[in-house]
Amino acid sequence: MKFVYKGKTVLWGAYIRLRSRWEAYAVKHRSDFGKVLLTMKLTVLICLIGTLQVLAEDTFAQQVSIKKKDATLLEVLRSVRKQTGYLFICDLGMLDEAGKVDINVTNAPLKEVLDACFAGQPLTYNIVDKTIIVKKGANR
């Protein structure tokens, strides 16, 4: 059964009243919604930038290829410097104390190559920007 009021249903009138109230509410509280939306957009942007930064770190890592047997650590580090352009800061006397290195890597990340070079050595390293600092440390 339909209730008719001037040719239209009762529900249509309720819909019109509700819509006009909602429009008035939306106009009154528009600035609140805009602030929430802006906060959400900025949060997504910051998360996206952080994710891309982490991915770029692995993507743009220096690739090194070295094949040396019974080489001194100094020879290996010179080869790494030629391929990557990284600077090394170390005491040459410390490098003389280091043992011989056998390494055979192809297109390996710089960190992996340095880990292989310093494994079992009395030295450690730190990478700061484009500089590698070699210092005395515990066996790795």
The ranges assigned to domains in the chain are 4-58, 63-136
- For the question of whether the overall pTM of this predicted structure is more than 0.75, the answer is no
Q: From first to last of its 140 residues, what are the pLDDT tens digits of the chain? A: 555 555 556 677 788 888 888 887 777 777 677 788 889 999 999 999 888 887 766 555 678 999 999 999 999 999 999 998 899 999 888 888 888 999 999 999 989 999 999 988 889 999 888 899 999 886 54
Task: Say how far apart CA 14 and CA 69 lie, in whole Å.
Answer: 87
Measured CA to CA, the distance from residue 101 to residue 78 in angstroms comes to: 13
- CATH number of the domain at 63-136, out of 3.50.50.60, 3.40.190.170, 3.55.50.30, 3.40.50.300? 3.55.50.30
**Angle in degrees, CA 50, 51, 53, rounded to 5:** 65
